[in-house]
A and B are shown apart, each in its own frame.
Chain A
């Protein structure tokens, strides 16, 4: 008896916000894709970190899909597929990011009665135009997957397939969840979805974004500042932390490109510490630059 109960319990999993959430690392983060998506006000903000109110959560899983970092854990089980075709459901509207991810998981079409609902249509059109930029074939809308008369061979084939699907449904919830399942960059490694624009006039190379970026976009190597745009998922960590407002995340789909800029390593005239600068003429590090020389030195 207890084995069965344990098994049934394992198949259910509450939706939780994991420690990957940027708000865990930055108490002033403004990221709120999940908050925007949740229609039931089930996500509570406490000291700027997020919790899910299980009494209000309907397990609709919209937040899981919306999170750019795939930081919300849970199962998305209201999406129904039939032979690589997403079955239309008026209870939800998929997001563009979601459809692009399904594309890479093998989805080719949407199965829906004509005409397609307006909301779905807008998402479909936008997804298809983005797929074009990603050099992928567009989704088509189909009425219904034809029920073919199965040959003996196909019958056994389909039994095997259905058996697999059943096993998948019966598996414990934790087995079904994969790391970074809803991170778009995982699926299109050769493309970038965002460009992180850096204003070198404003940037002091304080490197606050280096440590805060969960995707490690920023690097310094061989006197060059490198920004790996293809890793950006638009979590806004860098723009939130930048004290100079020198960063901007611009949505832009294209083949991946690395942003490289020449920088100089120098010793601060004031404190002697080494620092990086874009301008070879700069004499003081960004800390000394902002301090009154009459103040007590931290060194």
Chain B
């Protein structure tokens, strides 16, 4: 199959966070641990015009992100125990819970905030692309849940052919760090100029 990745149609995301909640439900994660997160970005203000009128240049948008199963995962390189592996068949990056020692170096290494630390089990974990569901022929739970159909997944090459090559929007770190396998259709206010 080759490397797989997510496609996020950010231009239609309404910020309902159903993807995040579904992910929590599926992975049964504690409060504060979110393998998929929805970020809210706001900028701009209301401006008093010289003629007395008030106009605004407020821009806001939501952005859903999990793990990008990167080409050069920073987490994998940082892991002191070798618990993080990138699967050969589909490039999915997983953390072996048996081996993870909870050093949290992956948490500080990932520019996207993917790995999440559980301070009760003393281990970090992250999105595993719902490989268990995929093996059964089902979609990852965030993809299946999104009421707007804004999240898709598949072979990254196919997604890039279909939706373009954008993998960075405003407020996102440079893709040169880890080469993320993600394709985004940005919100009109989130496009990088």
Contacts and interface: CB of A to CB of B under 8 A. Distances in A.
Interface in B81-130: 81-83, 99, 101-105, 107-117, 122
Contacts of A26: 80-82, 99, 101
Q: By DSSP majority rule, is chain B's interface helix, strand, loop, or mixed?
A: loop
A28 B78 CA distance: 11
B105 A243 contact: yes
Contacts of B81: 25-28, 212, 241
B142 interface: no
Contacts of B147: none
A268 to B, nearest CB: 12
Contacts of B82: 26-28, 48
B39 interface: yes
A127 B80 CA distance: 36
A28 to B, nearest CB: 4
A103 to B, nearest CB: 35
Interface in A285-299: 286-292, 294-299
Interface in A243-296: 243, 286-292, 294-296
Interface in A20-47: 25-28
A270 B122 CA distance: 21
Interface residues of B, number: 31
Interface string A217-246: 000000000000000000000001111000
B39 to A, nearest CB: 7
A295 B113 contact: yes
23 contacts: A25-B81, A27-B99, A28-B81, A28-B82, A48-B82, A207-B103, A208-B102, A208-B103, A211-B102, A212-B101, A241-B81, A286-B104, A290-B108, A290-B109, A291-B108, A292-B111, A295-B110, A295-B113, A296-B39, A296-B113, A296-B172, A296-B173, A298-B113
A148 B102 CA distance: 62
A206 interface: yes
Contact of A295 (B78, B99, B173): B173
Contacts of B83: 27
Q: By DSSP majority rule, is chain A's interface helix, strand, loop, or mixed?
A: loop
A295 B111 contact: yes
B175 to A, nearest CB: 12
Contacts of A28: 79-82
B102 A207 contact: yes
Contacts of B105: 206, 208, 243
Interface of B: 32, 37, 39, 65, 78-83, 99, 101-105, 107-117, 122, 171-173
B99 A298 contact: no
Contacts of B80: 26, 28, 208, 240-243
B65 A296 contact: yes
Which 8 A/B pairs are nearest by Cβ-Cβ distance?
A27-B82, A298-B113, A208-B103, A290-B108, A295-B111, A287-B108, A296-B113, A26-B81
Contact of B111 (A211, A242, A288, A296): A296
A210 to B, nearest CB: 8
A206 B117 CA distance: 12
A113 B99 CA distance: 50
Contacts of A211: 101-102, 122
Nearest to B112: A296
A207 B117 CA distance: 13
| Residue picked from B32, B104, B115, most chain A C-beta under 10 Å | B104
